[in-house]
Amino acid sequence: MGIHKVWVTLPDGAEIQAGELAFGRPMPDGTCRSAFRYSPEWLKKGFPLDPVSLPLSTGEFHASHLGPPLAAFDDALPDAWGRHLIDSEKQIPISKRLPERYLVEVGRGGLGAIGFGGPVKRNFEEARMHSMAELMDAARDVEKGVAAPDSAGLHKLFAVGASAGGARPKALVAHEGRHWIAKFPAYQDGPLNVPALEFASMVTAKKAGLDCPDVQLHSIGGRSVLFIERFDLTEKGRVHHLSFKSLCKERGGLLVGSYADLMAVVAKHSMRPEADTHALYRQAVFNMAIGNTDDHLKNFMMQGGPKGYCLAPAFDLVPDIARNLEHQLSVGGLRYPEKTAIAEFGARWCRDRELAEKVMQEVSVAVSGFKGELAATGVDMEAHARIYSDIDARLGVLAQRAASIPSSEASRLFDRAAEAAAAADGRARLAGGRELDR
């Protein structure tokens, strides 16, 4: 029901009003119209805030809520975790939980280069190492739904955690003169040490040749916390980024799709299409090998500026902690690793069959070191046996000689190996999601 200024902070620190974003009254069905137009200044000096949906033009762009073509602005808002935190701190009733409300709360303190509101910049706040334990306690209360609205812990967590994206508990933190996202253990993780698993996975990804941010694993009062260095900040300013949920606008905001959908966007809109299609292929192979089944469209981003867009570094690389078995994004129509389909996909997008095979081999060698990386974190390895057995099964499928293995046979092999791994702790689950009682 208002008009909001949209600001962009450039990498050199300059701040320019890029346009205006307007929201209509919520309709009886709960939907709400939104509209955007670029400012004359941005039309002269700026770049498209979404190369697919928001070309530089004088016209207005209309959407429902902040769906396509305005999803670039939704990317600048918090996801489930930050919204839950805002709801808890500000006691927002369900009927008022609309994008406009979160936009007002986040103002100019969100991730990425886009900010909203008046000319006064409210800097995002960052936690320090000494407050981690208190923030983790508060995060657990928020997750459990028992955080008292007036508690000091909730206020502190709100200040440093509300702008972050994603669903898992987290906060922004300054440490050793660098800026990080701190990812906490979640209440529902059970015996799994998810920060340690994500740390081992990110270290493995670097060894597999992926471009990933620096990570640190800290133990605070016996609880692990993962620090991931932010790639949306420069020394003086910010880097604009947007997710593939926005970029794949023809998917209408759905998070599932295929790696080919991402490739088509990268091939068309990246300023370095060859390097980025190769990098995305490597990441797809890595995800299939390590079991990063949570590979939805918000877990991939492009970064942009006046010179154009390129693939952002890889993040949120976690083995299959939720036992999904199937991936959100398919390769060759399949949502689990299958060597022939992956090789065909690589050959098509890298235009080089040998290179596609070589990448698969390099990634497999690196991922075979995952168990060692996890052991080096000091976690109880037995509690994580299901995870590395699953990875072994995946590596087994990728090691089959492509020509010697028909695809249907490969998928059966994978099902059998994955079932055997899951059976280790009493339950088995098939690729279709059916659970077997044992």
**Residue 90 to residue 168: CA distance in whole angstroms:** 20
In angstroms, the Cα distances linking 368 to 62, 177, 371, 404 are 48, 34, 7, 22
- Tracing tokens 């990875």 back to the chain, one arrives at 391
CB of 183 to ligand ATP, least distance (A): 6
- Residue 181 in the binding site for ligand ATP (CB under 6 A): yes
- Determine the longest span between alpha carbons in the chain, in angstroms: 65
Cα-flanking dihedrals φ and ψ of residue 380, to 5°?
-70, 110
- Residue 204 in the binding site for ligand ATP (CB under 6 A): no
- Residue 167 in the binding site for ligand ATP (CB under 6 A): yes
> Is 209 or 313 the residue whose CB approaches ligand ATP more closely?
313
Q: Binding Mg ion by CB under 5 A: which of 105, 141, 316, 373?
A: 316
Q: How many residues bind Mg ion (CB under 5 A)?
A: 3
- Residue 298 in the binding site for ligand ATP (CB under 6 A): yes
Residue type, 307: K
Q: How many residues bind ligand ATP (CB under 6 A)?
A: 20
Q: Which does 46 bind (CB under 5 to 8 A by kind): Mg ion, ligand ATP, none?
A: none
Q: Which does 227 bind (CB under 5 to 8 A by kind): ligand ATP, Mg ion, none?
A: none
Between 282 and 301, how does the x/- string for binding to Mg ion read (CB under 5 A)? Answer: -----------------x--
CB of 293 to ligand ATP, least distance (A): 11
Q: Which of 159, 188, 187, 196 is nearest to 174 (CA)?
A: 159
Residues comprising the chain, all counted = 438
CB of 244 to ligand ATP, least distance (A): 10
> Is 286 or 414 the residue whose CB approaches ligand ATP more closely?
286
Work out the number of other CB atoms within 10 angstroms of the CB of residue 350: 20
Chain centroid, CA 12 distance in Å: 25
- Residue 253 in the binding site for ligand ATP (CB under 6 A): no
**Residue 23 to residue 106: CA distance in whole angstroms:** 16
> Is 255 or 385 the residue whose CB approaches ligand ATP more closely?
255
Query: 89, 152 in Cβ contact below 8 A?
Result: no
Kindly indicate which of the ranges 217-225, 314-322, 369-377, 422-430 contains the residues binding Mg ion, using the contact rule CB under 5 A: 314-322
- Residue 166 in the binding site for Mg ion (CB under 5 A): yes
Kindly indicate which of the ranges 291-299, 340-348, 369-377, 378-386 contains the residues binding ligand ATP, using the contact rule CB under 6 A: 291-299
> Is 243 or 258 the residue whose CB approaches ligand ATP more closely?
243
SS3 content of the chain, % helix, strand, coil (to 5): 45, 20, 40
Q: Binding ligand ATP by CB under 6 A: which of 228, 288, 290, 391?
A: 228
- Give the orientation angle of helix 353-367 with respect to helix 385-399, to 10 degrees: 150
Residues 377-416, interacting with ligand ATP (CB under 6 A): none
- Look at the alpha carbons of 156, 158, 159, 162 in this order and tell me if their dihedral is positive or negative: positive
> Is 20 or 189 the residue whose CB approaches ligand ATP more closely?
189
**Residue 309 to residue 305: CA distance in whole angstroms:** 7
Q: Binding ligand ATP by CB under 6 A: which of 100, 261, 294, 320?
A: 294
- Residue 88 in the binding site for ligand ATP (CB under 6 A): no
Q: Which does 168 bind (CB under 5 to 8 A by kind): ligand ATP, Mg ion, none?
A: ligand ATP
- Bin 91: left if φ > 0, else alpha if -120 < ψ < 50, else beta: left
**Residue 169 to residue 155: CA distance in whole angstroms:** 15
Work out the number of other CB atoms within 10 angstroms of the CB of residue 178: 13
3-class SS of residue 320: coil
Give the nearest residue (CB) to Mg ion.
Answer: 316
Binding site for Mg ion (CB under 5 A): 166, 299, 316
Binding site for ligand ATP (CB under 6 A): 79, 81, 111, 164-168, 181, 213, 228-232, 294, 298-299, 315-316
